[in-house]
Amino acid sequence: MEYLFLDSRIIERTENAKLVPGTAVKDPGNPLLVADKPWEPRYDNMYPNVLWDEEEEIYKCWYCPFIIDERTSRTAPGKRNPEATDYMAARPSKRDEAILYATSGDGIRWEKPELGIVEFNGSRKNNIVVRGPSGAGVYRDPQDPNPDRRYKAFYAAQVGYLQLVRFSPDGLHWGPEIPCPEIAIQSDCHANMIWSEQRQSYLGIVRHYDRIPVVGNRKIARTESRDGVKWTKSTLALAGTPQKQAHDMVIFEDGGVYLGLLGVMNFPSMKSRHGVRQHIELAWSPDSVTWHRVAEGTPLIGHTPKEERKYGTMPYDWGALFPSAPVFRGDRIEIYYGASDWYFFDWRKSGLARASLRKDGWAGYEPTNGSEPMTVRTKAVSWEGGDLRVCIDLEEGGFLKVAALDEKRKLRGEGLIQRKAGNLTDAQVTWKQGFDDEDLKGRKVSLVFEAAAARLYSFSFGPAR
């Protein structure tokens, strides 16, 4: 069993400890995939869906740009900037969305194959798989016994924004749209779905929209389905504030909990849509119904900074970020995200970017006062036998000590990590002489972690994972 320290259900108390988001390292080659085709006039939010196909040994990406954006195509190139033209007011304003497909062998160099599936301007030599879906979440579902439903797309209609679902055997050739009016919501952001083994149902994320003046107010909603076709009426899952809105969230499971990558939309003023930017934060849930923010207001993936603000000179992800569900590969977590270089409701160039986390590195405890050790004490957990292992970042001069207490809070063992400084994955705790692992097996034990110059992410029992 693995336990993430961000799971507050297992934490009894802490001293001089704060929970902080993990350190996401951005790829130096970002952006990795950019708009360079006639049917890609504006990537906009992109809403990427990236997975690693183990059978084919290839990355696959479904992304959702505008393939028609007259605000761009009917504006002279020299006037496609905020000084010359208000993007949101540009006319004519016809727009058309689609799902596009790209592949990569290494996750860095991407190709847009000529699929021959959808006609665009008289040619099928493009990477469009289906026209029409808005903000589609594409999910590969290994548990569905029907091979024709291996891939699932969950999205909104461009007109009316009602939710729909459709299925595919290969992620390229899609069956008919199936309306889901019972969800009873209008949603135009990155809808997405996963299968929950725990709940024996599909969990869907959509968006609720409050029509408050000028800025609106976006919130995250959820729905559930036994078969992926008939869904429950959506209910509120997570909300921010009108000034810091919960714009979109992709969900997944890791470490025995549900996790969400949350796009937080920041409005400088409630009287205008100018100057809006978006970053990515972390949320978690024990059951997919009740959600908790991790270090609310602190990005897991934030903007690349630049002191001077000048259109056309900003870093690729200075403006607005939109996450994909993560790819887990060995000891590394890869988070792909749509990245834009300018404000949300404005002219902006967008592309696909990537950031990486260490294993279990979503969030961890570190000392509030860095000059003093911290203590993190767990509630009673079942001692499953085998080695106690910890995922931890240790700085030079840092340490980790562990004490095991039985049901009566009697000390049953003391141990420590004997590894050198670094990002340690499943590091084994070495117990002092006299510790009897078999005596604790199957019993409830509280663990007391004392650490300095460190960040604690998770612990587990047994062999290295």
DSSP 200-229: TEEEEEEEEEE--TTT-EEEEEEEEESSSS
How many other CB atoms are there within 10 angstroms of residue 336's CB atom?
A: 27
Q: Which of 410, 422, 279, 401 is nearest to 340 (CA)?
A: 279
Check residue 233 and give its pLDDT. Answer: 98
Q: Is the dihedral of CA 155, 348, 333, 112 positive or negative?
A: positive
Confidence of residue 464 (pLDDT cuts 50, 70, 90): confident
Check residue 458 and give its pLDDT. Answer: 98
Residue 462 to residues 388, 427, 429, Cα–Cα distance (Å): 7, 11, 11
Q: Residue 145: is the preceding peptide bond cis (ω within 30°)? A: no
pLDDT averaged over the chain? 96
Q: In the chain, what percentage of residues exceed pLDDT 90?
A: 94
**Mind listing the pLDDT tens digit for each residue in 129-173?**
999 999 999 999 999 999 999 999 999 998 888 999 999 999 999
Report the alpha-carbon distance of residue 50 to residue 192 in Å, rounded: 12
What one-character DSSP code corresponds to residue 42?
Answer: B
Is the pLDDT score of 437 beyond 90? no
Check residue 157 and give its pLDDT. Answer: 92
Is the pLDDT score of 184 beyond 90? yes
Confidence of residue 49 (pLDDT cuts 50, 70, 90): very high
Confidence of residue 56 (pLDDT cuts 50, 70, 90): very high
Is the pLDDT score of 386 beyond 90? no
Confidence of residue 420 (pLDDT cuts 50, 70, 90): confident
Residue 344 to residues 22, 24, 151, 171, Cα–Cα distance (Å): 25, 22, 30, 29
Check residue 351 and give its pLDDT. Answer: 98
**Mind listing the pLDDT tens digit for each residue in 234-281?**
999 999 999 999 999 999 999 999 999 999 999 999 999 999 999 999
Span 404-419, average pLDDT:
93
Check residue 384 and give its pLDDT. Answer: 86
CA 65 remoteness from chain centre? 19
Q: Residue 92: is the preceding peptide bond cis (ω within 30°)? A: yes
Is the pLDDT score of 350 beyond 90? yes
Confidence of residue 59 (pLDDT cuts 50, 70, 90): very high
Span 60-73, average pLDDT:
98
Residue 248 to residues 195, 323, 416, Cα–Cα distance (Å): 19, 9, 41
- Half-sphere exposure for 121 (CA within 13 Å, toward CB): 8
Is the pLDDT score of 364 beyond 90? yes
Report the alpha-carbon distance of residue 223 to residue 209 in Å, rounded: 15
Spell out the domains of the chain, with CATH numbers in brackets. Answer: 24-358 (2.115.10.20), 363-461 (2.60.290)
Q: Residues of 229-240 as b/e, b for ≥16 C-beta within 10 angstroms?
A: eebeebeebbbb
Check residue 438 and give its pLDDT. Answer: 84
Report the alpha-carbon distance of residue 364 to residue 458 in Å, rounded: 8
Residue 459 to residues 46, 293, 295, 378, 439, Cα–Cα distance (Å): 36, 21, 21, 11, 20
Check residue 465 and give its pLDDT. Answer: 85
Is the pLDDT score of 188 beyond 90? no
**Mind listing the pLDDT tens digit for each residue in 68-84?**
999 999 999 999 999 99
Check residue 160 and give its pLDDT. Answer: 84
Q: What is the pTM of this model?
A: 0.97
**Mind listing the pLDDT tens digit for each residue in 441-457?**
889 999 999 999 999 99
Check residue 166 and give its pLDDT. Answer: 98
Check residue 429 and give its pLDDT. Answer: 96
Span 211-223, average pLDDT:
96
Contact 91, 75 (CB under 8 A): no
Confidence of residue 367 (pLDDT cuts 50, 70, 90): very high
- Half-sphere exposure for 264 (CA within 13 Å, toward CB): 26
Contact 379, 385 (CB under 8 A): no
